[in-house]
Amino acid sequence: MKLTRLLLGSLAGFSVLLVLTAWQSESELSKLMRNMSNDMKRIRVKVQEGQKIPQFYKKYDKIHTAKPSVDSKKGEEFPEMATAFLKQCERLGSSDKSQLRIEYNNLVQSCIRCHEKYCPGPITMLKRLKLP
Ligand code: HEC
């Protein structure tokens, strides 16, 4: 009796664990995107304050190799748009103070461009990242 209860109990616990792991597991690409989003929020503040942006994009190269949740989210045009995005990161990184805001907004636009094609969900949030 005790044993059955123990077994049932651990079985229930194990299922809960399984569900939680499945729910938490996000794709490599999602993780990278989430990091980029957090970076962008900090970068936005720096640009507003007129500070130059250090080499924030070093780890973004992974955008080319990171696995998406669904293969179709990395379609034919993805590599080209990812390269354009990385180029724009470099431009922001080496921008003069006077051009920071323009280069920053161009970068947000390059996030949006790819999202319009492959992942429309976050577009509203991305638009809010733009600076007036
Ligand atoms: C070259 C295409 C491309 C570019 C550029 C791009 N994204 Fe994404 N983004 C995607 C794709 C595709 C997904 C879906 C990932 C998945 O489902 O595995 C995604 C997912 C996301 C998500 C949702 C992550 C999650 O699952 O919670 C956020 C937020 C995001 N991107 C923000 C950004 C930001 C901010 C930028 C610019 C700094 C950016 N993206 C640039 C293609 C791109």
pLDDT digits (tens, 9 = 90+) for 102-112: 999 999 999 99
Count the Cβ atoms, other than its own, within 10 Å of residue 12: 10
Q: Is the pLDDT of residue 88 over 60?
A: yes
Check if 29 has its Cβ closer than 6 Å to any atom of ligand 1: yes
Where do the structural domains in the chain lie, given as residue ranges?
Answer: 27-129
Q: What pLDDT score was predicted for residue 25?
A: 77
pLDDT digits (tens, 9 = 90+) for 89-103: 999 999 999 999 999
pTM, entire model:
0.87
Mean per-residue pLDDT over the chain, rounded = 91
Q: Is the pLDDT of residue 4 over 90?
A: no
Which residue among 33, 42, 59, 111 has the greatest number of ligand 1 atoms within 8 angstroms of its CB, and so is best to mutate? Answer: 33
Contact assessment for residue 86 and residue 57, using Cβ atoms and an 8 Å cutoff = yes
Per DSSP, 60 falls in state G
Burial pattern 22-51, b for ≥16 Cβ within 10 A else e, equals: eeeeeeebbebbeebeeebeebbeebeeee
Q: What pLDDT score was predicted for residue 54?
A: 79
